[in-house]
């Protein structure tokens, strides 16, 4: 039964060293993934909100800005647009990484744990 257990569980997750023990806990991993996901969405959301705010208009209605001031303002706007693009790109990359982690959890961790639970039940009988 032990050999079957090893081969069945190793089909999902293999220990780093052949004789090493491994500990996998789907609940701990699920909580960790949830925390990572909340951290990503919270920080990305915050960065998006900050970058989306319109900059404070330093020119009043009655001011006559110089060409230099207008050029600096345009440069700042271009920089802000670049930051917004980087935030969007980062959000996309991080979401893909998060999807990959959930994929590993669903295709490796959960089946491993279910197999482990099945063998535990067999050993109890």
Domain ranges of the chain: 83-118
- The 10s digit of each residue's pLDDT in 49-74 is 887 777 666 555 567 878 888 888 88
DSSP assigned state of 108: I
> Quick one: pLDDT at residue 107?
95
> Quick one: pLDDT at residue 69?
84
What is the average pLDDT value for the chain, to the nearest integer?
A: 85
Cα gap 19→21, rounded to integer Å:
7
Query: How is residue 79 written in tokens?
Result: 């920089």
Higher pLDDT: 69 or 99? It is 99
> Quick one: pLDDT at residue 65?
78
Average pLDDT, stretch 82-95? 91
């Amino acid at each position: 039964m032990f050999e079957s257990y090893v081969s069945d569980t190793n089909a999902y997750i293999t220990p780093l060293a052949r004789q090493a023990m491994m500990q996998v806990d789907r609940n701990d991993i699920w909580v960790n993934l949830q925390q990572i996901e909340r951290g990503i969405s919270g920080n990305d959301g915050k960065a998006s909100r900050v970058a989306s705010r319109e900059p404070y208009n330093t020119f009043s209605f009655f001011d006559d800005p110089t060409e230099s001031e207008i050029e600096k303002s345009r440069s700042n706007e271009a920089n802000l647009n670049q930051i917004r693009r980087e935030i969007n790109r980062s959000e996309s990359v991080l979401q893909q990484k998060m999807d990959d982690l959930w994929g590993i959890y669903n295709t490796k961790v959960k089946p491993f744990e279910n197999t482990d639970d099945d063998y535990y039940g067999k050993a109890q009988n």
